[in-house]
Amino acid sequence: MAKCAFLGLGVMGYPMAGHLVKAGHEVAVYNRSFAKAEAWAGEHGGSAHRTPREAAEGADFIMICVGNDDDLRSVCKGADGAFSGMGSGAVVVDHTTVSAEVTEELAAEAAALGGQFVDAPISGGQAGAENGVLVIMCGGEQAAFDAAKPVMQAYGRVIKRLGDTGAGQLTKMVNQICIAGLVQGLSEGLNFAEKAGLDIREVVDVIQGGAAGSWQMVNRHETMADDHFEHGFAVDWMRKDLRICLDEAERNGAALPMTALVDQFYKDVQKLGGGRWDTSSLIKRLRALD
Q: 123: helix, coil or strand?
A: strand
Per the residue annotation, which of 77, 172, 240, 271 is the catalytic one?
Answer: 172
Is 267 among the residues known to form the active site? no
CA angle 130, 280, 214 (to 5 degrees): 75
Instruction: Pick the closest to residue 13 from 71, 53, 57 (CA basis).
Output: 71
Beta strands 134-139 and 122-123, pairing class: antiparallel
Span between the terminal Cα atoms of the chain, in Å: 57
Half-sphere exposure (CA, 13 Å, Cβ side) for 237? 21
In the chain, at which residue ranges do the beta strands (DSSP E only) sit?
Answer: 3-7, 26-30, 47-49, 61-64, 91-94, 116-119, 122-123, 134-139, 156-163
Q: Which residues have a Cβ under 8 Å from the Cβ of 189 and sit 6 or more positions away?
A: 212
Spatial separation of the C-alpha atoms in residues 243 and 139, rounded to whole Å? 21
Which residues are catalytic, by number?
Answer: 172
